[in-house]
Structure 1
Amino acid sequence: MTKFGYTLMTEQSGPRELVRYAAAAEEAGFDFEVCSDHYSPWLVEQGHAPYAWTVLGAVAHATSRVGLMTYVTCPTMRYHPAVVAQKAATLQILAEGRFTLGLGSGENLNEHVVGEGWPGIQDRHDMLVEAVEVIRELHTGELVDYRGQYYQVDSARVWDVPEEGVEIGIAVAGDRAIEMFAPLGDHLIGVEPSSSLVEGWNDVDGAKQVGSEARAIGQVPICWDPDRDTAVKKAHEQFRWFGGGWPVNADLPTPAGFSGATQFVRSEDVAGAIPCGPDLDAVVEAASAYWKAGFTDVAIVQIGDDGQDRFLAEAAGPLLEKLRAAAPGDAG
């Protein structure tokens, strides 16, 4: 059965608003909620970047049913993996077992702020492998000493460890990343609806199989509004960064850089890639690319802070009905 999620997008909303939206999304019927973990917005027009882990702690208490997830945390530069292990364990306890730790190799936009530069992709992948090893060891609750190429952990122990542990999802985008991370992760996080991601993951020795043991989680941006022109304008203003693709998005360092890189992206370009306006069937069509590719979970991103309340009150319920009716195994 396909599960549908709501995105708490820290780049476009303040912390109190995000907690309110989280509670409303649970009430609307979403199955899970994912939260971005950014130090900066993609574009100045978005205007926010509260600390995701504080937000999620509050969300854990404001909700009682929905799954929670970071989408995604980079545990290699801005955060030491030993610190990620501690806060993930604490959040799992607060969420009473509803939390999944989503991890990825990060973006320059968020990680350069600590002044350590921006490594090449292979180094970032190697760092993420070590980070996952550190987190896994610390989540045993045992005393850990770790000596790797990138990280050292000296007599560390996470004292408050949840009984159910913390499952880890890992974002992958290519064959090499799949080969490296499929044996280390509990779940696949995909940046595009490609069946090759799921098939490649399932083909790796030692990987938990998507569809039985593992989830494959994707994300679809939309801009719902009763007026299509308003929706297109908002999507262009706040989400034109999306058109660069992840190889570009990973390397640009600042919102000003994204603004410059997207200065020639037109409104019609954005509207051609993102469902805009009141047509819920268009959203279903966009989301269907994920379940057709074998994904088990799809998170919706409603673009823009203004309009979230109306989307959740008016559109979310009917949209979820349409999504569940269309998704395989969900009708009836």
Structure 2
Amino acid sequence: MLWARRRQPDDMIYGVALAHERFSPNDLLRQATEAEQAGFDLVCCSDHLAPWWEPGDPAPAHCANPWVWLGAAGQVTSRVSLGPAVTSISHRYNPVVVAQQVATMEAMYPGRAFLGAGSGEAMNEVPAGMDWPSPAEQLARTEEALTIIRRLLDGETVTFEGRWFRTVGARLYEVPDRRPPIFLSAFGEQAAEIAGRHADGVWTLADPSSAPAVIAGYRRSCEREGREPGEIVLQGITAVDDTDDAAMDGAKEWKAILVKDHYRDDIHDPATIQRNGRSDVSDTKFKAMGLFSSDPKDHVRKIKALRELGATAIVLMNVSGTNPQGTLRTYGESVLPALRGET
């Protein structure tokens, strides 16, 4: 079983994603402990160099190093699976270092580590010196890096001469007994096919308009490779507050994550990114894509609908700027028990 908390092969996994862009690392450590107490099965975190907005416009901004934070999160929790959602493997992180980082997490917290990987965004890679590539090059870089990471985690000594990455006798000297599972972020079918070839599952947006094609592409790729499909992780956004409007209003800075151009094109200025979110994403669209409600039953209903898309795991980013702890408590008291049939 890939997740630490799965009890039966068909159990649905519920996770929470914590936002380095919005909260300080110490705030997020408190959220991690509260998420475990609430009964979430996994805790993951965003991996950004830059936030989706300028500090103070419209919200506070942070962006601590996720790998340092994950090591600390393992100390303040005891059972949840832990990993990034997701780490870019196209430029900012060398794949050898990524493999070493996740292997170290697994050595420290056996059975709990995983790697969520992706091709990144210009907002995080261009400031680190990358000339932002075409989507085709992004995918090619991702596949090369994923090949190296998987082989290293399998205990191989890797000499690799690719177009984008090169290794010479690279190996890990701290190889955990359990290879941490790798999940690849995919917004389209081509990335989903790479996941089918190299990863242990696919991680995509909880968007009913796009998720079915991604899932189908992943499953086709697994079939061609003679592999059993792994995890299908759908990630959405959630907030709970005193009223439905308050829940959404306290999270509007996150509209920018729904602009597809931010993942494909060289758009790396946070102020521009936030303006695009405001102009391109209506309140109606934002509300439809998120779980914003004061009523736990609304959250349960929407999550059950997401399960029907074929998910084996559902991860919800806590985007509540005004009530993050209350959101986690509501899930622990009412939402997760109802989803698991405990109430």
- The question of a shared fold, defined as TM-score above 0.5 by the shorter chain, is answered with yes
Q: Is the 8 A contact 1:172 1:189 kept in 2?
A: yes
Q: Residue type of the partner of 1:66?
A: V
**Residue deviations 1:32-67, cap 9 Å, x none?**
112111111112224111100011001111111111
Counterpart position of 1:258: 273
Determine whether 1:20 maps to 2:36. Answer: no
Determine whether 1:154 maps to 2:168. Answer: yes
How far the C-alpha of 1:206 sits from its partner, in A, is 1.9
How far the C-alpha of 1:165 sits from its partner, in A, is 1.3
How far the C-alpha of 1:105 sits from its partner, in A, is 1.1
Q: Is the 8 A contact 2:90 2:141 kept in 1?
A: yes
**Residue deviations 1:148-177, cap 9 Å, x none?**
111111232211111111211111222222
**Correspondence for 1:280 among 288, 296, 301:** 296
SS at match of 2:14: strand
Counterpart position of 1:174: 188
CA distance in 2 between partners of 1:223 and 1:176 (Å): 31
* Aligned pairs, number: 322
How far the C-alpha of 1:269 sits from its partner, in A, is 4.4
CA distance in 1 between partners of 2:177 and 2:262 (Å): 40
Counterpart position of 1:103: 117
C-alpha distance 231-260 of structure 1, shift in aligned 2 (>3 A): same
CA distance in 1 between partners of 2:21 and 2:158 (Å): 35
Determine whether 1:124 maps to 2:123. Answer: no
C-alpha distance 23-292 of structure 1, shift in aligned 2 (>3 A): same
Q: Is the 8 A contact 1:6 1:33 kept in 2?
A: yes
CA distance in 2 between partners of 1:242 and 1:181 (Å): 22
Q: Is the 8 A contact 1:223 1:276 kept in 2?
A: yes
How far the C-alpha of 1:268 sits from its partner, in A, is 4.6
Counterpart position of 2:151: 137
**Correspondence for 1:5 among 15, 23, 44:** 15
Q: Residue type of the partner of 2:242?
A: P
Percent identity between the two aligned chains: 28
Q: Is the 8 A contact 1:29 1:317 kept in 2?
A: no
CA distance in 1 between partners of 2:138 and 2:285 (Å): 31
CA distance in 2 between partners of 1:17 and 1:281 (Å): 27
TM-score w.r.t. length of structure 1: 0.90
Determine whether 1:206 maps to 2:221. Answer: no
CA distance in 1 between partners of 2:283 and 2:190 (Å): 35
Q: Any gaps of 5 or more consecutive residues in structure 2? A: 1-10
SS at match of 2:71: helix
Written as runs of structure 1 = structure 2, the 5 A alignment for 1:1-332 is 1-44=11-54, 45-191=59-205, 192-193=207-208, 194-204=211-221, 205-206=224-225, 208-210=227-229, 214-236=230-252, 238-244=253-259, 246-251=260-265, 252-264=267-279, 265-325=281-341
| RMSD across aligned positions (CA) | 2.0
Q: Is the 8 A contact 2:262 2:273 kept in 1?
A: no
Q: Any gaps of 5 or more consecutive residues in structure 1? A: 326-330
SS at match of 1:49: coil
Which 10-residue stretch deviates more, 150-159 or 133-142? 133-142
Which 10-residue stretch deviates more, 114-123 or 142-151? 142-151
CA distance in 1 between partners of 2:227 and 2:112 (Å): 19
Counterpart position of 1:328: none
